[in-house]
Amino acid sequence: MRQSKRGQVDPFIVMDVMEAARRAEAAGRRIIHMEIGQPATGAPETARAALRDRLDEPLGYTVALGLPALRAGIADLYRRWYGLDLDPERVVVTAGSSGGFMLAFAALFDAGDRVAIGEPGYPSYRQIMRAMSLQPVGIQTAPEHRYQPRPEEIPGDVQGLMLASPGNPSGTMLGPDDYRGLLDRARGLGISVISDEIYHGLSYGGRCHSALEISDDVYVINSFSKYFSMTGWRIGWMVVPPDHVRTIERLAQNMFICPSHASQVAALAALEATEECEARLAVYAENRQMLLQALPGLGFDRIAPPDGAFYLYADVSSLTDDSSRFAAEILEGAGVAATPGLDFDPRRGKTTLRFSYARGSEEIAEAITRLTRFMETR
């Protein structure tokens, strides 16, 4: 049977690494997972308790934009985190951030449109765009600019711009002045901007800033997966300009009907789990510090400044020119799974690796011990 050209997207390499790690575990080995951006903890207890209390009640379709109480709760989160008075009507609950990206791309762009994305960056931006007949245009960001795009680097012939703060894989963040410069440039070019803010809440030092602090003329996408540790629940949200809500609603009705009712119930309760989520953030902070102290001595001495998220992105050009092979060697020799940079940067990724530190601190300490042994004998 014929297959579409737009369906021939590249694999998500980290999932291939996960499969290699699974095979090693099936053979009896214990693998420390530093490849996947997934918290080791589950959903907050408040979220799980709320769903348990509702399981005897019908959980069916909700309205396409999400439960009104959840949309109001998310709007209140913007007041708590950023001091913003956000109209809940602008909040759209989605089937994970991936559902938000699909809705945003469908609402803002037509087939053949070009959308600029920073490299290194989250690989699924490119692949979702290609599957929707859009053309991703990579911006080769520089280490000296903390792997974030500069206003002058935005091409003049694109229809859209993807931003990410904290970035994946770098963990670097945009400040208010950075956002202002990028949004002013985009406005001058007449292009649409989407800001990926799914790692908000996970920062070390200064707080995360939202593009909404600078402008309402932007799409913002967020998720319960990272700060709230709810990856498998597939629940996220987006904030859109008031005059875009009905467009998004019509698309959501037809593409998804609605987000999972069960996940929405849990997500609403998770918004109150600040103490539990902050305790998990303290673990990530400890893990980050351990790795920043240990990795440079092992040869991983060029690391992007990780302001947020739970990743370290290392330039390993002094160690290898084939990050996929190097990651496989580390998996085999150390029992530690890491992600080759080719997932994030198709042009320079052969000489970079990403390490996730979203595990428990004991696991991260053991990973350091294993990596030390491996690098000493390599």
360, 34 contact by CB (below 8 A): no
Residue 345 phi, psi (nearest 5): -145, 100
Question: Domain residues of the chain, as ranges?
Answer: 13-42+274-377, 45-270
- Please give the span between the terminal C-alpha atoms of the chain, in angstroms, as a whole number: 48
Q: What percent of the chain has pLDDT over 90?
A: 94
- 45-80: pLDDT as tens digits: 999 999 999 999 999 999 999 999 999 999 999 999
139, 149 contact by CB (below 8 A): yes
| pTM, two decimal places | 0.95
Longest dimension (CA), the chain: 60
Average pLDDT over residues 114-143: 96
Fold of 45-270: Aspartate Aminotransferase; domain 2 (3.40.640)
168, 306 contact by CB (below 8 A): no
CB within 8 Å of 318: residues ≥ 6 apart = 299, 301, 302
How far, in Å, CA of 146 to CA of 93, rounded? Answer: 31
- 168-214: pLDDT as tens digits: 999 999 999 999 999 999 999 999 999 999 999 999 999 999 999 99
Fold of 13-42+274-377: Aspartate Aminotransferase; domain 2 (3.40.640)
- 322-358: pLDDT as tens digits: 999 999 999 999 999 999 999 899 999 999 999 999 9
pLDDT at 14 over 90: no
Res 105: pLDDT:
98
Res 47: pLDDT:
98
Res 233: pLDDT:
97
pLDDT at 298 over 90: yes
Does 13-42+274-377 match 45-270 in CATH topology? yes
